[in-house]
Amino acid sequence: MNKYIAELIGTFWLVFGGCGSAVLAAAFPELGIGFAGVALAFGLTVLTGAYAFGHISGGHFNPAVSVGLWVGGRFDSKDLIPYIIAQVIGATIAAFVLYLIVQGQAGFSGTGGFATNGYGDLSPGKYNLTSALIIEVVLTAVFLIVIMGSTDKRAPAGFAPIAIGLALTLIHLISIPVTNTSVNPARSTGVAFFAETAALGQLWLFWVAPIVGAIIGALIYKGVSKE
C-alpha cells in the first residue's frame, strides 16, 4: 500500500501546489504571480514530489504518465488501475481542501473556473477543441519522452526530477493560454468537481488527449532508445 499512498500524497501536492497557485496567487492584487509563476509552481511540485516519493512509487502523480510508462515497459500492469485511482483521489482531496480555503476570503462569491482545463469558452485564450486536442497530445508525448529519457539507466543518476520538473514548467508556459494546461487527467478531474463552469462536460478531452499523447511518447522513446 505504501506506493499507492505515495501516489495519492504526491498527486495531492501537485494539484494543491499547482492549482492552488493559480486560484490563490496568479491574479492577486498587484502581486500576482501570473502565468509564469503558475507554470513554475507546477514544475516545483513535480520536482519536490519526485524527490520525496520517487523511490517509493516512482513519482508518477499522473494517470497519463502511469499509462505511458506501462506502454513503455517500465511499469507493472497490476499496479496501473490502483495508481490511477490513488492519483484521482489525491487530486480530488487537494481540490476539496483548496475549495475550503477559498471560501474564507472576504467577499467570496464563488469558485468560478477554479483552475480547470477547457476549450472554446473555457479556454483562457478561447482556443477551439482541435487546438486543445493537438497541444495536449503533443505536450504529453514530449513529457513522456523526457520522463523516460531522464530515468533511463544510461542517464545521469539523481537528476531526473529536475529535468521532469523543468519540462512540466515549460509545458505550462506554452499551453496555459490554450487549455490552462492539463497533460494530467487527475489534475483536470479534481478541480472540475468544484468549478462553477461546464468543466465536467469537457473533462473527457483531458483524459483522452493526455493518455493518447503519453502512449505516443512512450512508443517514440522506445523506438529511438534501442541500443
Q: Is the pLDDT of residue 30 over 80?
A: no
Whole-angstrom Cα distance, residue 81 to residue 74? 15
Mean pLDDT of the chain: 96
| Helical axes 129-150 vs 205-224, angle rounded to 10° | 40
Say what the pLDDT of residue 152 is: 95
Out of 24-28, 36-40, 143-147, least confident range: 24-28
With pLDDT > 70 as the criterion, what percentage of the chain qualifies?
100
Say what the pLDDT of residue 107 is: 85
Taking a C-beta distance cutoff of 8 angstroms, is the pair 183, 62 a contact?
yes
Q: Is the pLDDT of residue 227 over 80?
A: no
Average pLDDT over every residue of 20-28:
91
Say what the pLDDT of residue 28 is: 78
> 5 pLDDT band (50/70/90 cuts)?
very high
Average pLDDT over every residue of 54-79:
97
Whole-angstrom Cα distance, residue 165 to residue 143? 10
Q: What are the CA-CA distances from residue 207 to residues 8, 62, 63, 126, 182 (Å)?
A: 18, 11, 9, 20, 9
Q: Is the pLDDT of residue 181 over 90?
A: yes
Domains annotated on the chain, with CATH: 2-224 (1.20.1080.10)
Average pLDDT over every residue of 47-71:
97
What pTM was computed for the model? 0.95
Taking a C-beta distance cutoff of 8 angstroms, is the pair 19, 115 a contact?
yes
Average pLDDT over every residue of 171-184:
98
